[in-house]
């Protein structure tokens, strides 16, 4: 294929060799090839329908593009840095293959509306894949929630034992976080589904094009309203990076909990060997590398969001070459989000709960202190006074190195004379969780209902 630059008509001197490599994007934007071809086929189809190309020219273009795509897929396409980007590589190869008709494909089009279209088509597909990957992880969490609906562990605030909760309830909290992520991705896909083609370089084109038709052919909701905005808008990329960052922030929190829970000190869960690695020096080690790496990757994706925002900041309308820098952060964000979701979903079914250790931890740290206060309130004590009474009982227990449930009825009555033998029902872990029996509460019955609602939603 000839490396002759497609835009070199006015140039007398060749491009500086370093500048050529410096400005080229083909090494990374070649991943857009299927979308570039898809966009070109729709564009050529529209041009022929409008009488701008003949039907024979259209057919030659489409057949040529399909041959090129087959070559690319087979890894036999010769990408050239001198031809700068995916768009000009494909166009040059087309002309080499079919001759003059190839040179007509770019009629009424610019790389500016072309690249904006390609990236949207690509991201639209990736968003669908990411949406499915989120759902897959949600299903894994539902299965685990179902398996461990009654398993009691301490819930924390400030990483200090707060109140007993069930493991199922905790998994359903993660489920909800991911559900909002799924919604954000769907929202991003909906807003990006607008077609730039027809904007050409920035002002539109003089040919009698039918943008509605091209939009329909490519499955876009509608053509973009304004040609300047169409070629320069990268909001959709920033929006995706923001949604991806929030998702990764969630995965980092979930990872952090898995890491803490699997430590020897907590020993709440055991991660499968397949998702851990050893140490080259300390033979006893089993490290939670997978959640750690996901936690680390969140930083990388946040960085891409910053890169994209900064890339767009203060850019005058319309297209600027700066925009070429949108691709690597976007591609990397997509790859890492997909990878993190996949490995998380693979890892969760193999998590085992060490119910005894969780229970032990929940029995320490006065997790049922609030239940005792609520008990006193039910017996007519104002909440603030009840809080004070329980605080004193806890201080007593700390001194005696025991738990509230270990105190005798007489000892408890020493703190408040409204206390009766029924107090022990609310001091047990089961009693405590079962009592939080309302929508969104940790009672196993409520967790079961939440799982059922979630399954229905995902069905
Ligand atoms: N490779 C370019 C990009 O990614 C394609 C658009 C180039 N347009 C231009 N006028 N130089 O943004």
Residues enclosing ligand 1, CB less than 6 A?
Answer: 25, 29, 85, 111-112, 115, 319, 321, 323-324
Q: Could you read off the pLDDT tens digit of each residue along the chain, which spans 459 residues? A: 678 888 888 888 898 999 999 999 999 999 999 999 999 999 999 999 999 999 999 999 999 999 999 999 999 999 999 999 999 999 999 999 999 999 999 999 999 999 999 999 999 999 999 999 999 999 999 999 999 999 999 999 999 999 999 999 999 999 999 999 999 999 999 999 999 999 999 999 999 999 999 999 999 999 999 999 999 999 999 999 999 999 999 999 999 999 999 999 999 999 998 898 888 888 888 899 999 999 999 999 999 999 999 999 999 999 999 999 999 999 999 999 999 999 999 999 999 999 999 999 998 889 999 999 999 999 999 999 999 999 999 999 999 999 898 999 999 999 999 999 999 988 999 999 999 999 999 999 999 999 999 999 999
Strand residues in 144-293 grouped as ranges (E): 152-157, 160-166, 194-195, 222-223, 269-270
The torsion angles phi and psi of 367, rounded to 5 degrees, stand at -65, -20
Q: List, in order, residues 6 or more apart from 143 with CB less than 8 Å away.
A: 348, 349
Has 170 been annotated as catalytic?
no
Topology adopted by domain 8-107: Fumarase C; Chain B, domain 1 (1.10.275)
| pLDDT reported for residue 1 | 66
CATH class name, domain 364-458: mainly alpha
Substitution candidate for ligand 1 out of 111, 201, 315 with most atoms within 8 A of CB: 111
Separation of 53 CA from ligand 1 center, angstroms?
25
Q: Can you tell me the distance from the alpha carbon of 198 to that of 455, in angstroms, rounded to the nearest whole number?
A: 44
| pLDDT reported for residue 61 | 98
> What's the CATH number for 112-149+167-200+222-355?
1.20.200.10
Q: Which helix (H) or strand (E) holds 361?
A: helix 355-363
What are the extents of the domains in the chain?
8-107, 112-149+167-200+222-355, 364-458
Check whether the bond before 318 is cis (ω within 30° of 0).
Answer: yes
DSSP 277-324: B--SS-TT--B-HHHHHHHHHHHHHHHHHHHHHHHHTTPPSS--GGGG
Q: Atom 4, ligand 1: which residue's CA is nearest? A: 324
| pLDDT reported for residue 277 | 86
Pure H helices in 81-166: 86-98, 100-104, 111-147
Shortest-distance atom of ligand 1 to CA 86: 1
Separation of 24 CA from ligand 1 center, angstroms?
9
Active-site residue (options: 2, 54, 263, 279): 279
Separation of 324 CA from ligand 1 center, angstroms?
6
Q: Atom 11, ligand 1: which residue's CA is nearest? A: 321
Q: List, in order, residues 6 or more apart from 99 with CB less than 8 Å away.
A: none
Do 112-149+167-200+222-355 and 364-458 show the same overall fold?
Answer: no
Q: Can you tell me the distance from the alpha carbon of 150 to that of 432, in angstroms, rounded to the nearest whole number?
A: 12
Has 158 been annotated as catalytic?
yes
| pLDDT reported for residue 453 | 98
pTM of full prediction above 0.85: yes
Active-site residue (options: 158, 280, 314, 421): 158
Separation of 67 CA from ligand 1 center, angstroms?
24
């Amino acid at each position: 294929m000839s490396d002759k630059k497609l835009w070199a008509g006015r140039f007398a001197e060749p491009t500086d060799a370093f500048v050529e490599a410096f400005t080229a994007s083909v090494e990374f934007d070649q991943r857009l090839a299927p979308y570039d071809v898809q966009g070109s086929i729709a564009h050529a189809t529209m041009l022929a329908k409008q009488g701008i190309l003949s039907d024979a020219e259209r057919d030659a273009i489409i057949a040529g593009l399909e041959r090129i795509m087959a070559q690319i897929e087979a890894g036999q396409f010769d990408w050239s840095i001198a031809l700068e980007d995916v768009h000009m590589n494909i166009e040059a190869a087309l002309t080499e293959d079919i001759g003059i008709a190839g040179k007509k494909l770019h009629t009424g089009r610019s790389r500016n509306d072309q690249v904006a279209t390609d990236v949207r088509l690509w991201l639209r597909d990736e968003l669908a894949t990411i949406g499915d990957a989120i759902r897959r992880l949600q299903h894994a969490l539902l299965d685990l929630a179902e398996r461990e609906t009654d398993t009691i562990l301490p819930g924390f605030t400030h990483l200090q034992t707060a109140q007993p909760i069930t493991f199922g309830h905790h998994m359903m909290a993660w489920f909800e976080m991911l559900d909002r992520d799924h919604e954000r991705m769907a929202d991003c896909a909906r807003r990006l589904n607008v077609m730039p083609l027809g904007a050409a370089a920035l002002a539109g084109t003089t040919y009698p094009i039918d943008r509605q038709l091209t939009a329909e052919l490519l499955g876009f909701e509608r053509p973009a309203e304004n040609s300047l905005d169409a070629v320069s808008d990268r909001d959709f990329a920033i929006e995706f990076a923001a949604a991806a960052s929030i998702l990764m922030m969630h995965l980092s929190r979930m990872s952090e909990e898995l890491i803490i829970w699997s430590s020897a000190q907590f020993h709440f869960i055991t991660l499968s060997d397949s998702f851990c690695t050893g140490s080259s020096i300390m033979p006893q080690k089993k490290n939670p590398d997978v959640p750690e790496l996901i936690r680390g990757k969140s930083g990388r994706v946040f960085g891409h969001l910053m890169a994209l925002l900064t890339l767009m900041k203060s850019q005058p309308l319309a297209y600027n070459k700066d925009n070429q820098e949108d691709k690597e952060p976007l591609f990397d964000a997509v790859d890492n989000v997909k990878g993190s979701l996949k490995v998380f979903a693979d890892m969760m079914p193999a998590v085992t709960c060490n119910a005894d250790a969780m229970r032990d931890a929940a029995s320490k740290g006065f997790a049922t202190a609030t239940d005792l206060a609520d008990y006193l309130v039910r017996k007519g004590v104002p909440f603030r006074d009840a809080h004070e009474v329980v605080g004193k009982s806890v201080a007593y227990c700390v001194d005696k190195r025991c738990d509230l449930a270990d105190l005798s009825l007489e000892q408890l009555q020493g703190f408040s004379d409204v206390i009766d033998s029924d107090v022990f029902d609310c001091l047990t872990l089961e009693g405590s969780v079962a009592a939080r029996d309302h929508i969104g509460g940790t009672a196993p019955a409520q967790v079961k209902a939440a799982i059922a609602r979630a399954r229905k939603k995902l069905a």
